[in-house]
Amino acid sequence: MDYQALYQFLSEQNAEHWVKQLRTQISKALALSSHGHLSEWLEVIKLIPNIETQYRKLDSAAITIGKADEINQQTQEQLSLALKQLRPWRKGPYSLFGIELDTEWRSDWKWNRLANHIDPLQNRTVLDVGCGNGYHCWRMLGAKAKMVIGIDPALRHVMQFHAIRQLYGEAPNYVLPLRLEDLPPNLSMFDTVFSMGVLYHRRSPFDHLLELKDCLRPGGQLILETLIIEGEQTQVLVPENRYAQMRNVWFIPSCKSLHTWLKRCGFVNIRLIDVTKTTTEEQRNTQWMQSQSLKDFLQPGNDNMTIEGLPAPIRAIFLADRP
């Protein structure tokens, strides 16, 4: 996994201090001792065949690389087997040389909700926090971003991204095995920062918002997507235990509360662009994610409540600027 082009880019952005730190962080995160399955996943990536293609499509629902008729059946079966060994695939969809990765999430639906509202990504440096396997990173690159850096601490997701990137080829698009707090403070280098599906997992949502702001250059834009509840300005749901079977959900605010949080953290030009109830058509189990999904976390016969008796998932998207 060659990060030299990324290091060069960061040096050109006067972020040499991050490059030195990043080399150590990546080396530590990708040490075989860091995860019991890492050596297996690395072997799987080696099994992915090197296939030349000029067909790449990053502006459609499925990230598409190659066509089915560019490879023979044996090669397609080899590729499919390798990709299946990296399951579960949560974000997508992907279409890879005729193999359709029908992932748990229809992540393209989320992209469609925000794409026409955000500042154009052309020639912008973009950070995607908690990016998973990098589906949205590819969509950002398809929107003509100059450089996309995704971060996610889950090594399976990072390996999935590398599998896709191996098929795509070199690109100014990276997923790093990092958490937001692993980035240098006051980085102030990104034109656009995405945080989608992360805020409610943070014990301190204010710290998360401030860390996101520190990553933005002055005038940069935050795209924040998160769970919300219906309610007034002071209302926030704090699950007593689990929420939709997730253990690490700490705070779910109303839209009015979240607007106040963003304002309190110093963001300006705050606007709500979308509120959508999550459905079992958007999040579901498939052959690429065979474990439980949203339908298993809702009350039978009542999709307005989780099995814990809490309001079912509703997601909102906010835009805000760093002054």
Confidence at residue 204, expressed as pLDDT on a 0 to 100 scale:
97
**Helix, strand, coil proportions of the chain in percent (round to 5)?**
35, 25, 40
What's the fold here for domain 4-321? Rossmann fold (3.40.50)
Strands in the chain per DSSP E: 56-57, 63-65, 94-96, 99-101, 125-129, 147-151, 173-176, 190-196, 216-228, 236-237, 252-253, 268-277, 298-299, 302-306, 314-321
Please check the confidence at residue 1 and state whether its pLDDT lies above 90: no
Residue 87 predicted with pLDDT over 90: yes
pLDDT at 188 over 90: yes
The pLDDT tens digits for 129-160 are: 999 999 999 999 999 999 999 999 999 999 99
- Check pLDDT > 90 for residue 307: yes
